[in-house]
Chain A
Amino acid sequence: MSGKKVIFDTALRASVNLQSSKLPTELTKSSTALFSALSGVKATLPDLSYDYNALEPAISAQIMELHHTKHHQTYITNLNAAMEKMDSAMMNGDVSAVIALQGALKFNGGGHINHTLFWENLSPNSEYKEGGTLDKALKERFGSKDGFISELTATSLAIQGSGWGWLVYNPKTKMVDIASCPNQDPVEATTGLKPLLGIDMWEHAFYLDYKNVKPDYVKAIWDVINWDTVEARLEAAK
Chain B
Amino acid sequence: MKLAIASLFIGLASAWSPANDASSSRREAISKTLAAGAALAYPLVSNAYSVPDLPYPYEALEPYIDTPTMKIHHDKHHATYVANINKAMEGKEEVPILDLMENALDAGPVRNNGGGHYNHAFFWSEMAPPDVAKKTKPSDALAKMIDASFGSMDEMKSQFEAAAAPGAVFGSGWVWVVLNNAGTKLEIVGTPNQDNPLMKGVKDEIKFPILGLDVWEHAYYLKYQNRRPEYVSNWWNVVNWDKVSENFAYVSEKKSGVPVEG
Contacts and interface: CB of A to CB of B under 8 A. Distances in A.
Interface of A: 66, 70-71, 74, 78, 103-104, 107-108, 160-163, 182-184, 202-204, 207-208, 211-212
A70 B226 contact: yes
B143 to A, nearest CB: 34
A204 B217 contact: yes
Interface residues of B, number: 22
Contact of B226 (A71, A103, A107, A108): A71
Contact of B221 (A161, A182, A207): A207
A126 to B, nearest CB: 27
B180 to A, nearest CB: 24
A231 B188 CA distance: 47
Given A74-B166, A204-B226, A211-B72, A161 B217 contact: no
B225 A203 contact: no
B57 interface: no
A162 B171 contact: yes
A222 B76 CA distance: 25
A207 B218 contact: yes
A66 B227 CA distance: 11
Contacts of B80: 212
Contacts of A163: 171
Contacts of A204: 217, 221, 225-226
A212 B77 CA distance: 7
A162 B172 contact: yes
Residue picked from A104, A107, A160, A203, most chain B C-beta under 10 Å: A160
Given A74-B226, A103-B170, A108-B167, 8 more contacts: A107-B170, A161-B172, A162-B170, A184-B170, A202-B217, A208-B221, A211-B72, A211-B76
The 3 A-B pairs of least Cβ separation, nearest first, read A162-B171, A203-B217, A161-B193
A212 B83 CA distance: 14
Contacts of A182: 171
A223 to B, nearest CB: 23
Contacts of A108: 167
Contacts of A74: 166, 226
Contacts of A78: 167
B167 A212 contact: no
A36 to B, nearest CB: 29
A66 B80 CA distance: 27
A71 B226 CA distance: 7
B167 A107 contact: yes
Contacts of B193: 160-161
